[in-house]
A and B are shown apart, each in its own frame.
Chain A
């Protein structure tokens, strides 16, 4: 069995992963990147709307403004030291991306154009038509294809990480399955940076791609790293009826209205000032209330773009124009689009400091998998891409100097053996009539029903019960494919295990937080309670397998909590 050794191992080839890899490589480290899909297939592609660029010229606005608005949107659960860094260093990252070749949309004078996003007082979001995430992801990949980098870096493309290696209380890399051959290998590293993205598929429906299964968060948890803010699940106001595909906030940024079945712009009742561009949690609750009170149609409300005109729609919102046309047969220039809230983003994740470092030495994390925390209880649109770039780079910049005095540890063969046994267990299990897909669907729909927008104790407790049953079914279910090469059946099984871990963490944290803050709304505790709950919930798995729940104070530097009004 080959053993691979690198200074820095980046797990994940999305924006956070690629940014970290480029930074580590520039600092002279031997870097490897492992990703379960080819990097350009990563979910960062899906970001249509844009990226905030505090401090970039006048339009980016002063960084303090961005930091304040991010803090306010986070319902004061965001750590202000981290938010300050995001706002201060964010502009530089946007410009770096532009210099590398991102084709940002321009104003007539040739400077970068901006659009307005929800939760922001003014337009400060930079964009590339409706393909911002894809455009940045592909440009970072262009940089990785530069021969100087391409030859120096090892890319484990279509390798699936199954667990992290921890020896003597330090993270030493990971165990990964080469999907092409079915072989398991230890990839050892002095520093490991988890950039595995989100877990949206824990819910059904979800705006997330099928690969967003929370692997990294679950694996870090199993390795003993603390996981924070898991109750904070962002439910996006506008996902498409049926498939749950996202309709970018950019549409509302360009001026689209939200209407109920009577054609009323209902946001006048919920956020008279910011209207459709109030913070996401606010708009989502408004929509759900309209639907629950019978002013929706078929579980949906409507997005109205008609007044924006054909030219603007086709030039700036081409992607969603096509999605509406192809998936639901709606012509946005003439018709209303049925939409509903859909699970979108996890604010919580692997707890890190402002340099991406977790309390487990050698383990870093960045991007959606991580919780720095800059998003707190509610993420502002267009801040996630920024988060991936700023903290992806910072993680690498901290890891590389640190690892210079580190030595490779001898990794016992047992680490690979454990995972091999786990896989053999799945392959050898006989069929019992149940299916991985059924368990996943039941998990998703029950999470949406019980740990969704409005949460109540009986539903939350019901979900604990459901998850116990789902776990038992999971442990018993077998798969069809017994082969080695591209056994996707096996991968879905392993992913479901990760999702169940995440679902349990979300539910336990949601039960614990007896207040309403940001995306977390408790019907039995409708108010925010700063006296008791201005703190993070942290879950840590102990050596003996039991879980410890603890709290961390929120870092407040500049902005004292105030009531949130939009």
Chain B
């Protein structure tokens, strides 16, 4: 099978950057990593990339393939090209992290974010003589998160991190879930409080990118949503994200739909005058283009506020959804 590659090159010693194109012959079953290794070993030894395990377990070979972060060792060429031998595969280093050389990026940002979430078990009380007795379901749930191989693909493609370098970012938040949801950990509340601060769980826009690019099914966004739920339940609600969720729910229960006018003050805080002033120009613009229906200016639930038909059914759905929340596992004896 013919394989065409266009690889982004960076030569830090000469300050040069550009693309190299390679055309090679590979067996049908090859992965992109096989092809890159073939290039490196027999065509061009200056091509730099990290790789080791060849089986999606060491997390070394993450890179952007046709503008999406993936593991080269899990990217079957046939799947990438759709069988079209003329398709030139674009191979670039991950984004959101500085490039060192060719496909190698500096992952310090990644690991510094992991360190930010106190990534070690903090049990309370005496250590048991044998193992902690905990439900297998809890361990299986955490194993899905421990599946993370720290490849950085999610961090590379996270849309929030792109604009806010302070965001703790998906992998570290998934790691945080691994501790917050570990029945052996004794600091869940403190962890959730810290994670609810700015740059934490409430800053994710739920764009789903991290779920799509993660090669190990960790689904960081879903872990973030679980953390949000845990934080709400733990009563950690004095922050913009939690207030946003509350006013959102209230708005639905009261009126059956989103009340755009009260969303913002409800989220940032009713008396947060400085923040409201900052947002005022945006609100005025929305008003001008008709995105803020003034009929909604009556606070949700107040007499005369807007109500949809069939409200009972809406409320029932909300009530049922609330019952779906899983119970937290605990250490037995």
Q: Which residues of A contact B131 (CB under 8 A)?
A: 56, 95, 98-99, 104, 111-112
8 A Cβ contacts from B75-130 to A: 76, 100-102, 104, 107, 114-115, 119-121, 123, 127-128, 130
User: A57 at interface (Cβ–Cβ under 8 A)?
Assistant: yes
Bound-complex Cα distance A157 to B23 (A) = 34
CB B134 to nearest CB in A, in angstroms, measures 6
A480 B45 Cβ-Cβ under 8 A: yes
A contact residues around B188 at 8 Å (CB): none
B135 close to A (CB within 8 Å): yes
Residues of chain B with a CB closer than 8 A to A139's CB: 121
Cβ-based interface call for A437 (8 A) = yes
Chain A: CB-nearest residue to B332:
A110
B54:A210 contact, CB within 8 angstroms: yes
CB distance from B177 to the nearest CB of A (A): 12
Do B45 and A145 touch across chains, with their CB atoms under 8 A apart?
Answer: no
Check if A483 sits within 8 Å of B11, measured CB to CB.
yes
B133–A111 touching, CB < 8 Å: yes
B142 adjacent to A103 (CB under 8 Å): yes
**At the interface, yes or no: B200 with Cβ under 8 Å from chain A?**
no
Question: How far is B144's CA from A105's CA once the two chains are assembled, in angstroms?
Answer: 12
Q: Does B150 contact A (CB under 8 A)?
A: yes
Whether the pair A134, B149 counts as a contact (CB closer than 8 A) is yes
Checking B42, B56, B107, B139 against A435 with a beta-carbon cut-off of 8 angstroms, the contacting residue is B42
- CB neighbors of B among A422-452 (8 A): 435-437
B143 within 8 A of A: yes
Cβ of B184: which chain A residues have Cβ within 8 Å of it?
101
Question: Smallest Cβ distance from B32 to chain A, in angstroms?
Answer: 13
Distance, CA A135 to CA B143, complexed state (A): 8
One of A110, A142, A326, A486 near B119 (C-beta < 8 A): A142
Known: A41-B52, A480-B44. A486 touches B104 (CB 8 A): yes
- The distance in angstroms between the C-alpha atoms of A112 and B322, with both chains bound, is 33
Please measure, in the bound complex, the distance between the C-alpha atom of A142 and the C-alpha atom of B176, giving whole angstroms. Answer: 12
Which B227-280 residues have a C-beta within 8 angstroms of A? none
Find the B residue at minimum CB distance from A106: B136
Residues of chain B lying within 8 A (CB to CB) of residue A437: 41-42
- B196 in contact (CB, < 8 A): no
- Give A100's nearest chain B residue, CB to CB: B121
Query: Pick the contact of A99 from B50, B59, B101, B127 — CB < 8 Å?
Result: B127
* A57 CA / B130 CA spacing, docked (Å): 8
Asked whether any CB of chain A lies closer than 8 Å to the CB of B51, the reply is yes
Chain B: interface secondary structure? loop
Contact B135 A106 (CB under 8 A): yes
Q: Smallest CB–CB gap between A344 and chain B, Å?
A: 14
Report the bound CA distance from A180 to B98 in whole Å: 13
- B46 & A131 in contact (Cβ 8 Å cutoff): no
CA distance A479 to B46 in the complex (A): 9
Q: Give 1 or 0 for each of A286-330: 1 = CB within 8 Å of chain B CB.
A: 000000000000000000000000000001000100110011100
**Using Cβ atoms and an 8 Å threshold, which residues of chain B touch A327?**
29, 55
Is the beta-carbon distance between B139 and A486 smaller than 8 angstroms?
no
Which chain A residues (66-124) contact chain B, with CB distance < 8 Å? 95, 98-101, 103-113
**Interface range on chain B: under 10, 10 to 19, 20 to 34, or 35 or more?**
35 or more
Is B132 an interface position by the 8 A CB rule?
A: yes
Of all chain A residues, the one with the shortest Cβ separation from B43 is A480
Count, chain A residues at interface, CB 8 A: 66
- Contact among B13, B142, B150 with A483 in the assembled complex (CB-CB below 8 Å): B13
Report A118 CB to chain B, min CB distance, Å: 21
A484 to B14, CA, bound (A): 11
Q: Do the beta carbons of A143 and B13 come within 8 Å of each other?
A: no
Nearest-Cβ distance from residue A2 to partner chain B, whole angstroms: 20
Interface contact A485-B54, CB-CB below 8 Å? no
* B311 sits at the interface (CB 8 A): no
Return A432 CB to nearest CB of chain B, in Å: 14
The answer for the CA separation of A481 and B58 in the assembled complex, in Å, is 25
Q: A residues within 8 A CB of B136?
A: 105-108, 110, 113
Given contacts A110-B332, A131-B147, A483-B46, contact A40 B59 (CB under 8 A): yes
Residues of chain A lying within 8 A (CB to CB) of residue B107: 38
Q: Would A245 and B139 count as touching, CB distance under 8 A? A: no
Partner of B52, one of A37, A110, A480: A37
Distance, CA A4 to CA B78, complexed state (A): 49
Q: Are B134 and A150 in contact (CB under 8 A)?
A: no
Interface membership of B182, Cβ < 8 A: yes
Contact across chains for A142 and B42 when beta carbons are under 8 A apart: no
Contacts of A108 in B (CB 8 A): 136
Other-chain residue from A57, A101, A135 in contact with B182 (beta carbon distance below 8 A)? A101
Whether the Cβ atoms of A40 and B150 lie closer than 8 Å is: yes
B75 to chain A, nearest CB (A): 10
| Known A37-B50, A99-B132, A101-B120; further 17 A-B contacts with Cβ < 8 A | A37-B52, A37-B58, A43-B58, A45-B57, A45-B58, A100-B121, A101-B179, A128-B146, A134-B149, A145-B115, A210-B52, A243-B54, A322-B56, A323-B55, A326-B56, A435-B41, A489-B46
**Can you report 20 A-B residue pairs in the complex whose CB atoms are below 8 A from each other?**
A40-B59, A95-B130, A107-B136, A111-B130, A112-B131, A128-B139, A134-B147, A143-B120, A145-B120, A210-B52, A243-B54, A243-B55, A315-B140, A437-B42, A485-B101, A486-B48, A486-B102, A486-B104, A488-B40, A488-B49
Binding site for B on A (CB under 8 A): 37-38, 40-43, 45-46, 56-57, 95, 98-101, 103-113, 128-129, 131, 134-135, 138-139, 142-143, 145-147, 150, 180, 209-211, 242-243, 245, 315, 319, 322-323, 326-328, 435-437, 479-481, 483-489
The 5 closest A-B pairs by CB, nearest first: A480-B45, A437-B41, A101-B121, A110-B133, A106-B136
